[in-house]
């Protein structure tokens, strides 16, 4: 998967809630598919802590909801 060294200034990583510059990848957003296009969210690769659910054939990471953080 392609990675980037700079994080966009206008958004935050949904895991750490910062936009510090470090290795970043784009993760497609479920429900935004439009033909071959999809919206994506930049996420720091160091923030990923993925789990594989072999029974449901699913890779995921549960996120803290920063919308309610102060």
Of 68, 49, 46, the residue nearest 60 (C-alpha):
49
Query: What is the DSSP code (8-state) at residue 6?
Result: S
Count of positions on this chain that bind Zn ion (CB under 5 A): 5
Work out whether the CA dihedral 43, 30, 33, 56 comes out positive or negative.
positive
The minimum distance between CB 37 and Zn ion, in angstroms, equals 24
Q: Which is nearer to Zn ion, 25 or 38 (CB)?
A: 25
Q: Determine which residue in the list 8, 15, 27, 41 makes contact with Zn ion, applying CB under 5 A.
A: 15
Binding site for Zn ion (CB under 5 A): 13, 15-16, 44, 47
């Amino acid at each position: 998967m392609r990675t980037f060294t700079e994080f966009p200034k206008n958004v935050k990583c949904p895991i750490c809630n910062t936009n510090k510059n470090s290795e970043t990848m784009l993760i497609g957003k479920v429900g935004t598919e439009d033909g071959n296009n999809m919206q994506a969210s930049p996420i720091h690769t160091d923030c990923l802590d993925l789990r594989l659910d072999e029974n449901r054939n699913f890779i995921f990471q549960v996120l803290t909801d920063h919308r309610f953080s102060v």
